[in-house]
Structure 1
Amino acid sequence: MVSFTLNGEERRFDGDPETPLLWVIRDAERLTGTKYGCGIAQCGACTVHVDGMTRRSCITPIADLEGSSVTTIEAVSGREAEAVQTAWTAIDVPQCGYCQSGQIMSAVSLLQMNPAPSDADIDAAMAGNICRCATYQRIRQAIHDAASSLEG
């Protein structure tokens, strides 16, 4: 049995310890905001925060999370999260929206670590997040806008 915190609530998973976190989140916990994209940690659709850091949930065995705190898109919060969500909406970042939970989780983490990122910082932090609709310019602009809103 693996005990961990999910979105602020204690959880226990009594299944195969090699089960990827993504399937625990989606199937066992019924939280569908975190998406399955590629299954090999290359697209970023499954990005969550584990103990405050981004993690690809599709390749993270639940056994690795004993005692950890996991945050999904459903519960991400704080100044950075609010700034990112506001900026995303203001400039209409999503098109199909499939990748957006992973994009937002990565952007929030970036701004928590670097409140004034350059284009190069943004590109490096977001490199593992693929957008099928190619909204990369709007994603970068939204991160800049979110960072600017945090300055005030």
Structure 2
Amino acid sequence: MVDQISARLQGLKPLTEKMLGLAPKLRRKGLRKAARQAMNVVRDDAKARAKAMDDPKTAEKIFRNIVTQEAGRQGQREGGVVMRVGIRGGAGSNQHSKDASGNPGGDTRHWRYIEFGTQSFAPAPFMRPALSTNVNTVTDRFVRVFTQEIDAALKGA
């Protein structure tokens, strides 16, 4: 089962009107910065949750592989900026030979078994709660940073 989290932003009309006064390149730059800083809240919470449950006896550290990155192709498809929080090497399958040990936290492809569980192992989610508990903080940070970026760009223009 896939959990979906949605958020509704209201009261952004003045911000949207300011944004339309900027060149597309400046808009994108401001959007990227605001989205990255907002999603870093989720990244930091996910790191803290992963660190708390990480096994100190193993060399692999999931929290070191948690990163924020832009999803460029998805952003182009959707006509905007898409930021995501994920785990380096996390999309690889444990059955394939691709080596993920070069990541800072080592080979942590097993994270999905912890997050989603298996038939013999109960799930202990740390990524999904990191987003669901921070939705308001993320949206507030996005709006604050994006407003600052737009104001700075308009002053410079």
TM-score, normalised via structure 2 length: 0.31
- The structure having more radius of gyration, on CA atoms, is 2
Taking CA–CA contacts closer than 8 Å with sequence separation of 6 or more, which of the two structures ends up with the larger relative contact order?
2
By percentage of residues, which structure has more helix? 2
TM-score, normalised via structure 1 length: 0.31
By percentage of residues, which structure has more strand? 1
